[in-house]
Amino acid sequence: MSREINIWKRLDKYLLVLYLILVIMGLSTVYSSSYNEEFPSLFSWREAYGKQFYWMLISLLVGFTILLLDGSFIRNRAYIVYTMVILLLITVLFMPAIKGAHSWFKVGGFTIQPAEFAKFAAALGIAKYLSTTGVFIHNLKTKMVVGALLLLPMVLIVLEPDPGTGLIFLSFIFVLYREGLSGNILLGGFFGIILAVLSVYLAAFEDVEGNANSWESISYFAGIIFAVGLLSFFIIKALVLPRLRKKYYPKVIIYSSLAILLVFSSHWAYNNVFQDRHKNRFQNLFGLKLDRQGTGYNIYQALSAIGSGEGYGKGYLQSTLSNDKYQHVPEQSTDFIFCSWAEERGFVGSLFLLAVYLAFLSRIVFIAERQKNKFTRIFGYSIASIIFFHFMINLGMVIGLAPVIGIPLPFFSKGGSAILGFTIMTFILLRLDAERKDVLS
């Protein structure tokens, strides 16, 4: 009993309160966006807000149960959790498709999406490995193991197909950078993203022009990269001192090869992994197709709903565009739930929401930085990166700066698996942080 009281005293109340604020704000928005006058009760299981309410209670129950666990219990079972989630990701590929994807287990009236659990499972796995004695991020073996730990769930999720959720695993690059990964690799990752986007753009352009699966333009693009790599090779040979050439030659060859591989794989993924709805969304994002009544419909409707909120919003339960009654904005309770909040609370309310998220993320980073235990620090930065990616991509989707790829707004979007997954990672951090004075290594 004394240990439990001690844990409560050491619990970071600021993060807990911010979490509760976000969850309550999210539930109230789901209620407003899917409000049904015939079944107004929050406890109504048949309505979306009723299901979200019960998932919130389940999440809180799981979260406070985690607080009763010992920190060593969590750390010692990190690989077990990771392995179990990987098995779930493999198994779900053989489940019947729902909405065109093999992403959910359906049990009675419940649906479970294991991809939401893969995020904190990967965070646990990475934290466990990198905190092991003798493991250093500068070693090639370490980079390969970390890459495998991230790539495995990412590939399985993309195969569902759910490329949007798969992209979230790229957020771990910030964690690795914090742990000592070379800034050159971070810069290389940035250029890699640019190359991938350009490759997808070329594939989308060919598709719009009626030359789907054509490799002509992408081959020219790869040829340019090869020429740049070859030019870099000769520049090094001519200008760099002989004793340093052996250091730079392999890097030029490796980076050029990876760049060419990335270009071709991105092009292949567009044509063979992305579904038609994904392709159309990229075509709209790149301005190759203006389809206000088709795949561009969501974004145009979302922007009109957000703009209608003006400065101070229309008031709670007073939205006329982003709710189930009028269905002006599709998916207004899930991917586009920010529209409901912005329409009812306006620009000022939207700024408040941004401030709460910023405070939540800042607190996580603060908690991560004050750790003496490497495992907790890495895990803290992992969940901060995951939530940041979710937040930025979701808002980017809603205002037309990112393709609509099905990324929920953390603690807000309707979805039991999502709120449970985000709650688990938050409460694991709370539990580990509560014993920071006891664990030194």
Q: Is 404 inside any structural domain?
A: yes
Residue with tokens 């406890």: 43
Tell me the pLDDT tens digit for each residue of 235-279.
877 776 576 666 766 777 887 888 888 888 888 888 777 777 777
Give this prediction's pTM: 0.84
Tell me the pLDDT tens digit for each residue of 368-396.
999 888 999 999 999 999 999 999 999 98
Q: Is 376 inside any structural domain?
A: yes
Find the helix packing angle between 183-208 and 276-285, rounded to 10°: 100
Which domain covers residue 303, as residue numbers? Answer: 2-434
Q: Is 260 inside any structural domain?
A: yes
Tell me the pLDDT tens digit for each residue of 23-65.
999 999 988 888 877 777 877 777 888 888 999 999 999 999 9
Q: Is 83 inside any structural domain?
A: yes
Q: Is 441 inside any structural domain?
A: no
Tell me the pLDDT tens digit for each residue of 273-312.
777 777 777 777 666 666 555 556 667 777 777 888 788 8
Q: Is 440 inside any structural domain?
A: no
1 pLDDT higher than 50: no
Q: Is 118 inside any structural domain?
A: yes
Tell me the pLDDT tens digit for each residue of 105-155.
887 777 889 999 999 999 999 999 999 988 888 888 998 999 999 999 999
What's the structural domain count of the chain?
1
